[in-house]
């Protein structure tokens, strides 16, 4: 287990510079190691199922609606510029 570090302002840039010098295989292995560490940390913190953590990290969710129903919901919630301006006009700033 790696020690926990606070990320200072320049630390991500330092890591990027180090990673730039790695070959593709090393970068791939590092990526897999980091992904596993992230998933393991999330499991330790929340006691959640691994499947749920993976879905959460991937930006997905469980939904009983079909893809077509989700698309219809997205389209129905869109607002035209006219509707946006009408809503803004009703706000008191």
Indicate if the pLDDT at residue 54 is higher than 60.
yes
Residues 8 and 18: their CA atoms lie apart, in Å, by: 16
The predicted structure's pLDDT at residue 48: 67
Average pLDDT along the chain: 77
Q: How far is CA 82 from CA 3, 26, 30, 49, 60, in A?
A: 54, 53, 49, 45, 32
Determine the Cα–Cα distance for residues 11 and 13; give it in Å rounded to an integer.
5
Mind listing the pLDDT tens digit for each residue in 19-50?
888 889 998 999 899 888 887 777 776 766 77
Q: Provide the whole-model pTM.
A: 0.39
- pLDDT at position 2 is 47
Identify the pLDDT of residue 68: 93
**Residue ranges of domains in the chain:** 11-89
90: number of CA atoms within 13 Å, CB side?
A: 5
């Amino acid at each position: 287990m790696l020690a926990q570090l606070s990320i200072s302002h320049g630390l991500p840039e330092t890591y990027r510079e180090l990673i730039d010098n790695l070959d593709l295989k090393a970068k791939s292995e590092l990526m897999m190691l980091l992904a596993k560490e992230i998933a393991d940390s999330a499991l330790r913190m929340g006691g959640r199922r691994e499947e749920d953590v993976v879905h959460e990290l991937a930006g997905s969710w469980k939904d009983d609606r079909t893809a077509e129903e989700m698309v219809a919901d997205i389209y129905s919630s869109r607002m035209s510029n006219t509707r946006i301006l009408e809503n803004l006009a009703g706000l008191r700033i």
